Homo-oligomer: A and B are copies of this chain.
Amino acid sequence: MPRTLSDQRRAAVLEAATRAIARNGLAAPTASIAAEAGLSVGSLFNYFPTKTALLNGLYLHLKHDLAAAVAEPPIPDGPLRDRAGEGWRRWIRWGAADPDKQRVLMLIETSHELTDQSRRDGTAAMQGADALFAEAQAGGPFADQPLEFLVAMVGALAATTMEAVSREPEQFDSRCHVGFTAVWAAIGSGGRSSDTGTDGKRSQA
């Protein structure tokens, strides 16, 4: 079966596309992507019939990559806030480890290339991660806010935090903490006693 070869090449294309698009924007020529992947133009179009298909495929690939990075290995049981915090840190770590991925994800998301189906699929892929935050929102004062809005807020904060961390990796803990504080507040849990605060000291106030 030529399956294995195909998968490898497909992955190479996605990786090359990530680099090329991070560097040159969505206008990055398919030819340059193919070259970067070590393929001919013609072959690239065997894996993705159009550039739009490539972009949508890349979007889903990155979304799943991110979702996996957040959800695996499984986050150990514990207080919701701890679990959410761990998910958050994984999220940020993913983006800071390879800023290109995050940037490209956003570029595609804000473009008009993304089909509704892809957008839905991407959202579905993140459901595991999102659930963590949705749960926290549930009982709080912002429980009536649409999940979509919540998820968007968390995503925006994550993007900003990643970017900051990728510029100063040694500030990972510090920026993560600030970002999570905002996330927790956006979820509506910011002031609840059950959270015992962002850190223990605060809760004694």
Contact = CB atoms under 8 A, between A and B. Distances in A.
Chain A interface mostly helix, strand, loop or mixed? Answer: helix
A62 to B, nearest CB: 16
Contacts of A179: 153, 186
A168 to B, nearest CB: 8
Contacts of A107: 110
A6 interface: no
B112 A25 contact: yes
Contacts of A72: none
Contact of A181 (B110, B152, B186): B186
Interface in A80-112: 103, 106-107, 110-112
A42 interface: yes
18 contacts: A24-B112, A27-B27, A142-B178, A144-B174, A152-B164, A153-B178, A153-B179, A155-B160, A156-B159, A157-B157, A181-B185, A181-B190, A182-B182, A182-B185, A182-B186, A191-B198, A191-B203, A193-B205
Q: Which 10 A-B pairs have the closest CB atoms?
A: A185-B185, A182-B186, A156-B156, A191-B202, A156-B160, A182-B182, A152-B160, A149-B164, A182-B185, A181-B185
Given A142-B178, A157-B182, 6 more contacts: A2-B42, A103-B110, A178-B188, A181-B188, A185-B198, A191-B205
